Amino acid sequence: MKDLIQSIESRFQTLITLSIFFPSLIYYLGKVTGQTDAQVAVVVLQFGGLIGAVLLDYIIFQSNKHVFSPKWLQWIDKVLLWSFIFFAAPILLLAALASVKSAVPQWIANVTGLTLGTLVVIILAIPVILELVLIIFSMLSEKKNQKIKK
């Protein structure tokens, strides 16, 4: 169980690092696709809420990590792994858009870039919200089981 907790902590730390540096990537890819500073700033600010959710998720896990059963820890570990996949997909999509920008009319690139930026934030929020719900649900479930055993 200790190894599983260490694995989860390691994945959380990597996810936090990705979350912190991801707005810079969004900014530069937005600029490459011709977005204005205001358009890119909206997406970066939206992403700021996601960073806060990841940190909240980590804090809740750290303060209750010994409450979880091995079954719940395995689920948390799997969802964190899926978070990395959710990070990889938008990065590849944004990079593809940036690489074909010259072949696409400017107005399509502008609309697609702004919409895609907001969509990236929504896509990345899915596993983080799922992780947060899973941790809270499993924590409440384990505490309920402990009360029943007493």
Q: What would the pLDDT profile of 89-141 be if each residue is shown by its tens digit?
A: 767 776 776 676 555 555 555 555 556 566 666 777 777 788 888 888 887 88
Q: Hey, what are 114's tokens?
A: 């702004």
Q: Hey, what are 50's tokens?
A: 């996601």
Any idea which of 9-13, 57-61, 82-86, 94-98 has the lowest mean pLDDT? 94-98
Q: 10: closest CA among 84, 63, 67, 97?
A: 84
Which pLDDT value is given to residue 6?
A: 92
Q: How far apart are CA 57 and CA 144, in angstroms?
A: 20
Name residues whose C-beta falls within 8 Å of residue 50's C-beta, 6 or more positions apart in sequence: 19, 121, 124, 125, 128
Strand ranges (E), 6-126: none
Q: How far apart are CA 147 and CA 2, in angstroms?
A: 24
Name residues whose C-beta falls within 8 Å of residue 7's C-beta, 6 or more positions apart in sequence: 77
Q: What is the pTM of this model?
A: 0.70
